[in-house]
Structure 1
Amino acid sequence: MEQQTLQLLVEEISLKEFGRPFKHKAVFNSRLRTTGGRYMLSSHHIELNIHYLNEHGMQELIGIIKHELCHYHLHIEGKGYQHRDKDFKELTKKVAAPRFCTPLPSQQKKKRSNVTFHAYRCKQCGQSYIRKKRMNISRYACGKCRGKLSYLGEAKPNEQGGLT
């Protein structure tokens, strides 16, 4: 989908669902990773994550557009436009906009596979520790008995959520 087609789609949804025109820019931002879209308070533009269109299809993108238009129209009117505000919650229900977008499968796989954990054990009491970041064992001590720590090695998560 091209930028011009996206702009027309957002303007059409704004008129159809909200009864008000969308007078600013709607663009795809391929750098967005953790969100489906965002409404820019200062410029009133809407940025949308193109990966949602590619991985979830048009219906998910339309839901994200409705959600961002809720922020847009409420902010323009001076009403509560944040997720926690009553006005926002009511408007999202009225236009059937999702409160949150579905996670991207490509991002979930990436998160799970790249994580490496580091295992440590106290030499004195045997207390074990699992950390995402590697620690300098000469600077840290056991939180239970203040004993010296030993590094056991790396551990990767398995399919069940445990460590291997």
Structure 2
Amino acid sequence: MKDENLQKLTEDLSSSYFNKEFKHQARFNKRLRTTGGRYMLYSHDIEINPKHYELFGEKELISILKHELCHYHLHMEGRGYKHIDHDFKMLLKKVGGARHCKYIPGHKNRKRTVHSYKCTSCGLHYTRYRKMDTTRYVCGKCNGKIKKC
């Protein structure tokens, strides 16, 4: 599928499911890795990960487009367009869009390093994904010094 076909499909979905016109660009973006698509707040364009179309077909593509069109139309109307907003959840349910896209097989997840810290006074154990400068922070429970385990 080419960008022109994606644009036409997006316009058709917008008019049939939302009864509104899609006036901006829809295109494939090969650089997308962790998401099926994205709605761009400032340009109002929609970008789609072509891998999802190649691996899962047109049904998954339509589901992703419905999701992104929910963001688009709610943002254009000035209503809650974020994933957490009630308006977004209700509209997504109404049109039958995907809440999450399918997992791409073979995609390597980034391994997260877990850093462990311990209070020298009370022994409280802290786990963090980010490194912490132990000279700048103290224990939140007893104000004791923190050391790396």
Report the TM-score range of the alignment, normalised by the length of the smaller protein.
0.7 to 0.9
Within the candidate set 109, 124, 142, 1:111 is matched to 109
1: distance between equivalents of 2:23 and 2:104?
A: 29
> How many residues in Structure 1 have an aligned counterpart in Structure 2?
117
User: Residue 68 of structure 1: CA displacement?
Assistant: 0.1
- The 5 Å alignment of 1:21-100 reads 21-100=21-100
Tell me the alpha carbon deviations over residues 42-73 of structure 1, each in whole angstroms, 9 at most, x when there is no partner.
00000000000011111001000000000000
- The reply on whether 1:10 has 2:10 as its aligned counterpart is yes
- The Cα shift of 1:111 comes to 3.5
Q: Which runs of 5+ in 2 are unaligned?
A: 114-146
Structure 1 alignment gaps of length 5 or more:
118-140, 144-164
How many Å separate the matches in 1 of 2:93 and 2:5? 26
Compared CA separation, residues 142 and 45, structure 1 to 2 (3 A): closer
1:16 deviates by 0.4
Paired-residue identity, %: 54
Q: Which residue identity does 1:92 align to in structure 2? A: L
What is the CA–CA distance in structure 1 between the aligned matches of 2:93 and 2:109, rounded to whole Å?
31
Distance 1:105 1:94, change over 3 A: same
Question: Aligned-pair distance for 1:142?
Answer: 7.1
TM-score (norm 2): 0.74
d(CA) in 1 for partners of 2:106, 2:29: 17
The verdict on how the C-alpha distance between 1:142 and 1:64 changes in structure 2, with shifts beyond 3 A counting, is closer
Task: Sort the Cα spacing of 1:20 and 1:111 in 2 relative to 1 into closer, same or farther, 3 A.
Answer: same
**What secondary structure is seen at the aligned counterpart in 1 of 2:13?**
helix
The normalised TM-score by structure 1 is 0.67
Letter matched to residue 101 of structure 1: C
Q: Per-residue displacement from partner, 1:86-112 (whole Å, max 9, x unpaired)? A: 0000000000111111111131xx338
The structure with more radius of gyration? 1
- Calculate the aligned-residue CA RMSD, in Å: 2.0
Q: Which runs of 4+ in 1 moved over 6 A?
A: none
- Counterpart Cα distance in 1 of 2:27 and 2:148: 51
CA distance in 1, matches of 2:85, 2:99: 12
